[in-house]
Amino acid sequence: MDKFPAFLLLPFLCFFHSLFLSDADVTGNSSDPGLTLSADSLCAQLIEPNGYFCTEHTIQTKDGYLLALQRVSSRSGDLKVQQGHPVLLQHGLFMAGDAWFLDSTEQSLGFILADQGFDVWVGNVRGTRWSHGHISLLDTDKEFWEWSWQELALYDLAEMLHYIHAITSSKIFIVGHSQGTIMSLAALTQPDIVEMVEAAALLSPISYLEHVSAPLVLRMVAMHLDQMVLALGLHQLNFRSDVLVNLVDSLCDDHVDCTDFLSSITGQNCCFNKTRMNFYLEYEPHPSSVKNLRHLFQMIRQGTFSQYDYGVLKNLLIYGQFKPPAFDLNNIPKSLPIWMSYGGNDALADATDVQRTLEELSSKPELLYLDNYGHIDFLLSVKANRDIYNHMIGFFRGGKLG
C-alpha cells in the first residue's frame, strides 16, 4: 500500500506534541510577574497580526512545568480596562492554544469570543510549542514526559484557573475540546478547582472512551501501539518524526482502509476546510507523552474514567488500592452550569459514551446535538459560529451567567 501523506496526521492528532521550541522570553516591566514578551509567541504569530490585543503570560505548575497563557481582547478593546467575563479555552490532544485561531476571525472561536466582549484566556499544556519547558528538566529527559492527562487536569488546568482567578478576581468560564474536556471533567470533580469555575462548555465531550468506533484507533489499541513506542525507547510522542510516521503507516494494511485517513480516525467530518490543511500544519502537531497515550488506551480497554493504572503492585504503593481511583462525575456540583455539544459522526466522542457521562452527572447539562458533525468539525467547521458558537455564547449569557 502507498504511504499515506504525513499531512493527514492532523485529524489523528485532534484526538490523541519534534517540534518543541523553548521560546526565550523576556520578562516585561509589569506588576504582573507572569507577564512575558516574546517575538516567537502565539500572540505575535496568530493573534496580533489580525489586529487583536494580546499579552503573553507564564505560570509554573506544582511539579515545575512552565506553561504559557495568552490573554486576548477584541480589536476595539483594551486589555488594561478589560471588563468582559473571563473564559479559558483548553485545547485537545496534540494541539495547543493556536487551535482556537486557525481560521478567519469570523470562524475561529478565540476571535469570536473576544469580539463578543469576553476576556479570553488561552491555555497551553506542558510540552507544547508555546509553553516554556520545566524549571529543571530538559525535554530530552525521560522524566520530562512522565505525565498523562491526569497531571494536565490536576496541575496544568488547575494552575491556569488559579492564575486567571487571581488576576481577574472573577470565576471563569471553561471551554474545552476533546482532551480539553477530559481535563475539565476530571478537574471539576475536585472541590478546590471547581470553586473557581462559573460554567463549563464542552465540545466533543469525553469522560469515557469505551465505544470509540474509529477503525484506525481500534487497530492501534489492538496492536498495543503504546507499548511498541515504549519498546523503541521513546517517551515523547512526536508525529513529525519519521519513526512514528512509519509506525502508524504500518498499521494501514489490509485490516484498515486508510485511503480516507481522516474518517478512519475521527469519523466523517462535514464542514471543515480541507484546503487549509497546509496552513494548519504550520502550527500542528504539538508533542505529547507516551504515558498520556497509554492512559487514553486504558480508558478504551477498561471502559473507565480513572487515574493512571500502574498495575496492581504499583497501584498499591501509589493509591493504596489495587485499582486506580475513579474520577467520580457525581462529585461535580449540581449547581455548576454545563453545556455540551456532540455529533452523530464523531467516532471518538461516541454518543453512547456521552450518554453515560450524562447519567453520572448530578446536573442536567444543556445539550446541542449535531447529527452530521464529526470530531474536527467542533473546532474547525466553517459553519461552527452559526451551528455551535452562537448557542454556547447564549448559554454563557443566559440567566445568572450574563
Identify the CATH assignment for 42-397 out of 3.40.50.1820, 3.40.50.300, 3.20.20.70, 2.60.40.10: 3.40.50.1820
DSSP string, 88-145: EEE--TT--GGGGGSS-TTT-HHHHHHHTT-EEEEE--TTSTTS--BSS--TTSGGGG
Q: What is the pLDDT along the chain (402 residues), one digit of tens a residue?
A: 444 344 344 444 444 333 233 333 333 333 455 666 566 899 999 999 999 999 999 999 999 999 999 999 988 766 555 568 999 999 999 899 999 999 999 999 999 999 999 999 999 999 999 998 999 999 999 999 999 999 999 999 999 999 999 999 999 999 999 999 999 999 999 999 999 999 999 999 999 999 999 988 998 899 898 888 888 888 998 777 777 667 666 766 656 666 566 678 888 899 988 888 788 878 878 899 999 999 999 999 999 999 999 999 999 999 999 999 999 999 999 999 999 999 999 999 999 999 999 999 999 999 999 999 999 999 999 999 999 999 999 999 984 444
Residue positions annotated with a catalytic role = 178, 346, 375
Question: 343 to each of 73, 267, 340, 350, how far by Cα in Å?
Answer: 30, 10, 10, 8
The edge-to-edge listing of strands for the beta sheet with 86-90 is 26-27, 35-37, 53-60, 66-73, 119-123, 86-90, 172-177, 197-203, 338-343, 366-370
pTM, whole model, 2 decimals? 0.88
Q: Are 214 and 356 in contact (CB under 8 A)?
A: no
Q: Are 157 and 193 in contact (CB under 8 A)?
A: yes
Taking the domains of the chain in order of start, what are their residue ranges? 42-397
Q: Which residue type, as a one-letter code, is found at position 145?
A: W
Q: H or E element: which one contains 380?
A: helix 377-380
Q: How many CA atoms lie within 13 A of 83 on its CB side?
A: 4
d(CA 380, CA 107): 8
Q: Are 96 and 286 in contact (CB under 8 A)?
A: yes
